[in-house]
Amino acid sequence: MRTRAVVVAAVAATVSAGVGLGLWASGDDGDGGPAGSARPTSSVGASAASPSASRETPSPSPTRSYPLSRSPRTIPAVQAHTPARGPGWRPQRGARVVVSDAELAGEGRLVAGELGLTYAGERSDDRDGDLRLALDDGAGSGPESYTMTVRGGRVSISGPADSGVFYGTRTLKQEVHDGGTAPEGVVRDAPAKAVRGFSLDIARKHFTAGWIEDRVRELGDLKFNQLQLHFSDDQGFRIESDSHPEIVSAQHLTKAEVRKIVELAAQRHITVVPEIDSPGHLGAVLAAHPELQLRNVSGVATRGAIDISKDGSAKIVDDLLDEYAGLFPGVPWHLGGDEYQALVVSNPEASYPQLAAAAKEAYGSGGTVADLTTGWLNDRADTVRAHDRTPLAWNDGFFRGTSVRPDAGIQVAYWTGKEIGAREPVEYLSAGRELINYNDEFLYYVLGQPNNFVYPTGQRIYELWTPRVVRGTLAVPAKYDDRIRGGYFAVWCDLANSQTQDQVAAGVRMPLRALVQKLWDAEKPALSWTDFKALADRLD
């Protein structure tokens, strides 16, 4: 459990070590205001734990005592900070980044370059001004947790895994931004939610590789850990394909560009999650394969829908899933599953007799089109699971009352309650499914604002949304919190020309910062929205 309490023993150590080293200079304006974006921590324990500190008296010596440090001001806020008296830390020319473990070389080189320090590699000696990165056993701590100690003109960041150490360097980078000082003391930090994601629809709108790389850097600095690329839809298929080059749109990312994005993301502990949505939203694939197009009883094509009664349909989708498994090495894989148009008519069996016949052949006389569609989702889950991937699907790809049950290992990406036969989030959670929150009421940025969508604001997310607000504006009961793995902010390009990619970057800036604050810290934010936005402006 993450603690916000001041650890008396740690305070005693940091206070006694920091006394008499010089006046601590904050990178802020020194107005003595609130303790920043972290939870306030008490200084009472510090004086009680350090008798020498409590008995300080004025001295004619040139050495001056320090005020207790203030909590760091970062986005997201750190979970706990133990204040201390001391000079804090600023990057100085000639200072080193050293690592205690060779596995941290990537994190060390990155932060050294960002802060203008010298990367000195794996060293056991310590020097003034050093930033040391280390792995520890982290007993009882998650892999994304870290401890950062600023003491005596040096900084150490340690964690049980390289991801946590990386997040510690992100905190430090924000603290010293624009000439700031990392405050003396100890930060203990870890995220409340395991999944902190950004989903980007590159199928309906082409985004350049450079723009996506800029988002990766932004997401990494904010401690996001997933980037979902929705690259197949009715309007386009946007990544180079060797198995089916005929389906690829003229504007697309090459595999070399995607590998560079994936590599950059991995350096920042971000997993790139691919999404090939099926059996709906396959219009770009079907444009090159009209023989697989779903048609109703009158022979009319059903937009975006593949005919899942045909063997060739499963083959082409599995070809793509198998191909891109080598391009995207991360564990999660989004299968889509939403808005299959065969199931939005009043009588799917009458409208699509070929699907009805295939359902009966597969599942007996009671088989339905919904059963066949659920079986399709399960089969695609098996395809990606063969590559050691964890499948997830949109909530409207799960159907009530089917004899075929969705595989228990498919996670629910819950985005809406507007579909036919909509089910409350609790129905999934009470059945034991893990869920990721994509609430379209707060977290959907839909270009052009069609279908009553309104561009979400950071303020609304910051003040009204929590990970338990999965559908609409009401939270699910707290007992289900552990089954909500995290949340995503999603950009959908329904009216692709409504904004340029630079306008999209500006529009999602504050929503992303508000979202990660709420995913990293389970408590009500300490800062008002006005102060939070001012902090974001200062850190950019």
Query: Parallel, antiparallel, or unpaired: how do β-strands 195-201 and 301-306 relate?
Result: unpaired
CA angle 439/509/70 to nearest 5° reads 105
Lookup: tokens for 244: 């089916």
90 contacts 128 by C-beta, under 8 angstroms: no
Is omega for the bond preceding 62 within 30 degrees of 0, making it cis? no
How far apart CA 388 and CA 375 sit, in angstroms, is 20
pLDDT in 10s for each residue of the chain, 540 residues:
333 333 333 333 333 333 333 323 333 333 333 333 444 443 333 333 333 333 333 434 344 689 999 999 999 999 999 999 999 999 999 999 999 999 999 999 999 999 999 999 999 999 999 999 999 987 678 999 999 999 999 999 999 999 999 999 999 999 999 999 999 999 999 999 999 999 999 999 999 999 999 999 999 999 999 999 999 999 999 999 999 999 999 999 999 999 999 999 999 999 999 999 999 999 999 999 999 999 999 999 999 999 999 999 999 999 999 999 999 999 999 999 999 999 999 999 999 999 999 999 999 999 999 999 999 999 999 999 999 999 999 999 999 889 999 999 999 999 998 877 788 999 999 999 999 999 999 999 999 999 999 999 999 999 999 999 999 999 999 999 999 999 999 999 999 999 999 999 999 999 999 999 999 999 999 999 999 999 999 999
- Kindly tell me the sign of the dihedral angle through the C-alpha atoms of 322, 324, 326, 329: negative
Q: In the prediction, which pLDDT does 423 show?
A: 87
User: How far is the C-alpha of 229 from the C-alpha of 275, rounded, in Å?
Assistant: 6
Q: Quick one: pLDDT at residue 196? A: 98
Cβ neighbours of residue 93 closer than 8 Å, sequence gap 6 or more: 116
How far is the C-alpha of 315 from the C-alpha of 502, rounded, in Å? Answer: 38
Determine the 3-state secondary structure of 273 from DSSP: strand
What is the predicted pLDDT for the residue at 418?
Answer: 82
| Model pLDDT, residue 400 | 87
Tell me what pLDDT residue 139 has: 65
Note the pLDDT of residue 69.
96
pLDDT of residue 137: 83
